[in-house]
Amino acid sequence: MAVVEQAPSHAERSWLERVPPVYWILGIMLLIMPAIAGDFILYQIFGWGFILGIISLSLMFLAGYGGMVSLVQMTVAGCAGYMVAIFGTSAIDHISLGWPWYLAIPLAIAVAVLFGTLAGWLAVRTEGIYTIMITLAIASAFFYFTRQNYVIFNGFSGFNGVLPPQLFGVDWRQPAAFYYLVLFWSVLAYCSVLYLSRAPFGLALQGTRDNARRMAALGYNVVAHRVAAYAFAALLAAVGGILLTWQSAQISPGSAGIGPVIDILVIAVIGGTRHPVGPFIGALVYVVLKTFALDALVAIGMSGERFQLLIGIGFLVIVFWSPDGILGLWDRWQRARARDPLLDRGGGSP
């Protein structure tokens, strides 16, 4: 606050003026996107990419701010998707309860958050790499359970025909409408993570990441902070999971299988876990690769099925040379530019 009092001219600027210009440009571009891009790009690239971004953002929140690499986020998303299908309407009407959306969606989110929090409560009993092992075990247990249980989860085939409600007379599965729906939730998720990272809770969480023992000595309840972080991350993942279910209109064990679970980690790592924008960048890269890799691979004479190989090698390269993902590469490039000896800028800021 002291800084603000010394510089009243800064304090008088409203929050709208303090938004960096990059955000304005990006925001306007994203808003007018339906006028530029075709339906396929809107629905399959941006829609899907943003949804994966939201789910991956929940992992980034835990990994980046809490130092907990949780592989259970996709499973929480899948759980929310299943709950929407079970409480709401789907083509499998002997299981779906067919409740109205204002009951089904909050209930689905509540169940998923509860599940994510419980998983987190189990995972925070251990630290570091053990977290990966335990969350991976929970994720695979969920996958195998949904696959073999026919009473609640309808086994191998899962649920299809899970559609968003016709709210305000809009069909939310139309590409443009769905794009705006997903964009709204992505922006909300992004801003909430950004806000939370600067709020006391987020700062305390980053403190537990850097030195848990010191935070405990300062009187912070480390376990409670971590479990709360899992709960918040589960909320994000649940929103993403419901959107993902609507996007493909179906949910099956494969939607939250081991492959997608790892994909969410890959997306977060490729994008970078330092800043909330990383997962969205990673997700767009992933989606573009996944959509067009087939054509590209065929063009250079390889079988289009080798997409996983491409992703795996890309992931390895990123982890090997830039642990902070694309964001890390960007930072490094900026630093390298600032240190250009020919222009004699020295080490000054650009």
Partner 1 sequence: MRGFARRHPVWTVILVVLAAVLLWLAFAVWPKWLIALIGKKKVFLNAVFNGITLGGLYFLVASGFTLIFGLMRNVNLAHGSLYLLGGYVGFEVAALTGQWILAFPVAFVVVGLLGMLLQYFVFRRMEGEDLRQTLVTIGISIVLADLMLWVWGGDFYNVGAPEWLNGPLTTFFVTAVKSSGDPVYMKYPLVRIVIFLASVVVGVGIWLLLNRTRIGMLIRAGVDDRDMLSATGVRIQTVFLGVFAFGAGLAGVAGVVGGTFQSIAPGEDIRFLLASLVVVIVGGMGSIPGAAVGALLIGLAEQLGSVYAPTYSVVLTFLIMVLVLAFRPQGLMGRA
Position 98, amino acid: G
Burial class (CB in 10 A: 0-12, 13-18, 19+), 55: buried
- Applying CB under 8 A, which part among 139-147, 168-176, 205-213, 338-346 lies near partner 1? 139-147
Q: At what angle do helices 175-198 and 222-248 cross, to 10 degrees?
A: 170
Does residue number 157 form part of the binding site for partner 1 (CB under 8 A)? Answer: no
- Rounded CA-CA distance 246/244 in Å is 5
**Does 100 participate in binding partner 1 (rule CB under 8 A)?**
no
Task: Take residue 310 and report the two structure tokens written for it.
Answer: 């491409």
User: Is residue 37 at the binding interface for partner 1, with CB under 8 A as the rule?
Assistant: no
Single residue of 10, 125, 214, 332 touching partner 1 by CB under 8 A: 125
- Residues in contact with partner 1, shown as a per-residue x/- string from 263 to 302 under the rule CB under 8 A: --xx--x---------------------------------
Helix (H) or strand (E) holding 64: none
Q: In 3D, which of 350, 51, 291, 312 has the Cα closest to residue 183?
A: 51
Query: Which residue in 55, 230, 262, 200 sits closest to 125, CA to CA?
Result: 230
Q: Does 313 bind partner 1 (CB under 8 A)?
A: yes
C-alpha R_g of the chain: 21
Contact code string over 60-79 relative to partner 1, x by CB under 8 A: ---------x----------
Binding partner 1 (rule: CB under 8 A), the pick from 312, 332, 334, 335 is: 312
Helix (H, G, I), strand (E, B) or coil at 239: helix
Interface stretch with partner 1, choices 29-37, 97-105, 143-151, 187-195 (CB under 8 A): 143-151
Binding site for partner 1 (CB under 8 A): 69, 122, 125-126, 128-130, 132-134, 136-138, 140-141, 144-145, 148-151, 258, 262, 265-266, 269, 303, 305-306, 308-309, 311-313, 315-316, 319-320, 323
